[in-house]
Amino acid sequence: MKFLERYEDQIHTDLHAWASEHTHSHAKLVLLDIDPDKYPHQRLLNHTVRSQPLEPVVIDTIATQIEPRYPDFIEAVESNPKALRIAGAILNSKQNLIIGTDHQELVDIALLMAYLSSSLRQKGTALSSGLIANKMAAYLGVEIDNNVTIPAADLLGMAFDEVYLTLPASQSAKERLSVPRQLASKLNKAVIDKGISHRLKSTKRLGKAMMLGAALTGTVNKELDASSYQPFGEIEYVSQAQVDHTQVLGRANIGVLDFMKNALTMVAGTQLEQGNIKVTIDDEPLYVDSKELLESAMKKIADIRNQQDQNHHFVYDTYGNLPVKKSHSNE
């Protein structure tokens, strides 16, 4: 792909700079060099990390070593017994399941899916586990202890059968990636067609369903820019009383429908506030195959977050035009 070769160095530079910002968002994160030979998941056409997950008890031990909040996270996930039973039944019946969430910080979706997969496996559910992650993760390492750093992509491979590395289509991604959006779209289409959709369509042949984690917003929740918000025209309404403490869930890319139609979806929300960790998994499976149903699912996630956090008002950016304050630390 000559078109790709022309921009390859620039994509590496942009993703590396983006990863550098994240080293300040978690104590265990470190920046890797740009070295696709040493870190093959940095290669632009290397979009899927395929591996054999470790045993659930080992995954939980490593996760606790990296993230002190993980034990509380376990308790929060297990507070959804009905949703867990339904998720297990869906997977045991050889139907794929997507867990669709918002995105509060870099590690939330990985923590949720790592333990959810472990929990269901320990309950006897046969499943393949998957996660959609930002390609930027290929430029990050995780310090297990003072002397050992593991590439983040390899670490995710310890917890999931398949990790799909994409270039987010969010506004923040567009600002960071100084390459034609056409190229990013082509790379993402390859991830969906050759990675995600291919695996979801292979469930019958493989005899094992996939549970796939996806932060459907593609970006972290952001604070509404109250000074720029004008509640006129085709824009999501936010009352004057709520405008100063509103968190915006970014608009989901309609491209996710290409793979969501091959699975049922259960939506979820997480709150990672130390000492007040909450996980809510809605126990109504959805079939999402249209823009309208996707918007409905996203608004349900916003409702979950409003129930979890009484100090903020969460709203889904239906029209993709709510003004937000820039936030680079956790995206």
pLDDT range class, residue 175, cuts 50, 70, 90:
confident
- Checking if the pLDDT of 167 tops 60, the result is yes
- Checking if the pLDDT of 210 tops 70, the result is yes
Q: What is the token pair recorded at 221? A: 């929740």
Q: What is the pLDDT of residue 91?
A: 98
Q: What is the pLDDT of residue 4?
A: 78
Which of 242, 246, 216 is CA-nearest to residue 315?
A: 246
- Checking if the pLDDT of 172 tops 80, the result is no
- Checking if the pLDDT of 140 tops 90, the result is yes
Mean pLDDT computed over 116-123: 96
Q: What is the pLDDT of residue 3?
A: 66
Query: How many residues does this entry show for the chain?
Result: 331
- Checking if the pLDDT of 330 tops 70, the result is no
Separation in Å, CA 74 to CA 114, 273, 283: 10, 14, 18
pLDDT range class, residue 179, cuts 50, 70, 90:
confident
CA distance 88 to 124: 9
What string of DSSP letters covers 243-312? GGGEEEEPPPPGGGHHHHTTSEEEEEEEE--TT--EEEE-SS-B---SHHHHHHHHHHHHHHHHHH-TTS
Name, in order, each residue with C-beta under 8 angstroms of 70's C-beta and a sequence gap of 6 or more: 60, 63, 64, 111, 115
Q: What is the pLDDT of residue 147?
A: 80
CA distance 234 to 71: 43
pLDDT digits (tens, 9 = 90+) for 42-90: 999 999 999 999 999 999 999 999 999 999 999 999 999 999 999 999 9
- Checking if the pLDDT of 174 tops 90, the result is no
Assign domain 2-316 one CATH number from 3.60.40, 3.10.450, 3.40.1130, 3.90.1200.
3.40.1130
pLDDT digits (tens, 9 = 90+) for 239-291: 999 999 999 999 999 999 999 999 999 999 999 998 999 999 999 999 999 99
Q: What is the pLDDT of residue 1?
A: 59
Q: What is the pLDDT of residue 173?
A: 81
Q: What is the token pair recorded at 209? A: 């369903």
Separation in Å, CA 274 to CA 167, 282, 309: 30, 23, 13
pLDDT range class, residue 331, cuts 50, 70, 90:
low
Q: What is the pLDDT of residue 6?
A: 87
Mean pLDDT computed over 189-203: 96
Q: Residues of the chain with pLDDT > 70: what percent?
A: 98
- Checking if the pLDDT of 157 tops 80, the result is yes
CA distance 129 to 152: 17
Q: What is the pLDDT of residue 328?
A: 54
Q: What is the token pair recorded at 258? A: 């290409």
